[in-house]
Amino acid sequence: MENNYALYKTMLIIRRFEERLLVEFSAGKLVGTTHTYIGQEADAAGIFSVTDPEDVVFSSHRCHGHFLAYGGEPYRLAAELMGKSTGLVGGRGGSQHIQWRNFYSNGIQGGIVPVATGMALAEKVHRTGKIALVFIGDGTLGEGILYESLNLAALWSLPIMFVLENNGYAQTTPVEKGVSGSMAGRFTAFGIPVWECNTMDVLEICSTAQEAVRHVRLDIRPGALILHTYRFSAHSKGDDLRSPEELTRIRAFDPLKLHSPRLTVEERSRAETEAMVIVEDAFVRAEADLSPSLNSND
């Protein structure tokens, strides 16, 4: 498990990267749409501090935080968001469709879940010891393909972790209007054990995720990790029907504020400076890069 400084710095890089991204978006510098992870940083920082770099990761439309915590380079992501040929997939995937090493994302809700399940089967057949991790949101519990995947993952005892980030909303639809019954029950119905965290404290997420990952890897069986969290920013750029009171209330659970007292003043300021330099470098370099030509493979 990583130390307090590393966890803080990971969360801070995600936060500052996403804040900068919103500024660049408003300035018209990004191509396509974008969804930020602001508020949910403890989930990604916690999980990727207890996984193996060789594990295979599948993410969604809200993938930037997962990618950065996985160890992805901010500059290559910024270049992708700006549609530059130096981007992760040559500037043609944009915010939602990125790939680097064992990290894959797709913007179709639930669409990547059967792919992750198939990859878990491949890892099992080849006895690699790797696990697959697939991130979904509460709104994605409404996608039927999820349940076909859970069924096969359980029947074939596949090493896959279903990570459900419940941020309480699917775009503007509150979870109470979109999800019936129990979230955990949707996994246990298939015999898949559930670990659940109702916190935005990164250390608690680390220890629960560590236990869940150990189960999936050692027992070669699926598991589900349900993380209840809050998204502070809009669903995408401006679509947010929540009241100012609700936003103020949830901001009290800011994972950076919860974790920062575990650092010294000097460490906090060093992390802030390092994050600022990384993010500034990423966007400045990306902006100076070339866009791909329509006729070439560059």
Ligand X SMILES: Cc1ncc(C[n+]2csc(CCOP(=O)(O)OP(=O)(O)O)c2C)c(N)n1
Q: Could you tell me which residues come within 8 angstroms of residue 242 by beta carbon, excluding any fewer than 6 positions away?
A: 169
Query: What count of other Cβ atoms lies within 10 Å of the Cβ of residue 29?
Result: 16
61 binds, among ligand X, Mg ion, none (CB under 5 to 8 A by kind): ligand X
Q: Which does residue 48 bind out of ligand X, Mg ion, none, counting CB within 5 to 8 angstroms by kind?
A: none
Short-list 148, 160, 66, CA closest to 116: 160
CA dihedral 4, 22, 281, 84 (to 10 degrees): 130
List binders of Mg ion among 82-141 (CB under 5 A): 137-139
Distance CA 34, CA 29 (A): 12
61 contributes a contact to ligand X by CB under 6 A: yes
Q: How far is the CB of 110 from Mg ion (least distance, A)?
A: 13
CB of 144 to ligand X, least distance (A): 10
Q: Does 109 bind ligand X (CB under 6 A)?
A: yes
Work out the number of other CB atoms within 10 angstroms of the CB of residue 53: 10
Q: Is 66 in the site for ligand X (CB under 6 A)?
A: no
137 binds ligand X (CB under 6 A): yes
The interface with ligand X within residues 68-107 (CB under 6 A) comprises 107
Q: Does 18 bind Mg ion (CB under 5 A)?
A: no
Candidate segments 85-93, 165-173, 239-247, 262-270, binder of ligand X by CB under 6 A: 165-173
Q: Count residues contacting Mg ion (CB under 5 A)?
A: 5
120's tokens: 């878990």
Q: Which stretch binds ligand X (CB under 6 A): 25-33, 97-105, 131-139, 180-188?
A: 131-139
Spatial distance between the Cα atoms of 138 and 156, rounded to a whole number of angstroms: 25
Question: Which of 80, 123, 138, 254: binder of ligand X (CB under 6 A)?
Answer: 138
Among ligand X, Mg ion, none, what binds residue 223 when CB lies within 5 to 8 Å by partner kind?
none
String of contacts with ligand X for each residue 251-270, x by CB under 6 A: --------------------
Q: DSSP letters along 171-239, please? A: TTEEHHHH--S-HHHHHHTTT--EEEE----HHHHHHHHHHHHHHHHHHT--EEEEEE----S-SSSS-
Which residues here bind Mg ion, judged by CB under 5 A? 137-139, 167, 169
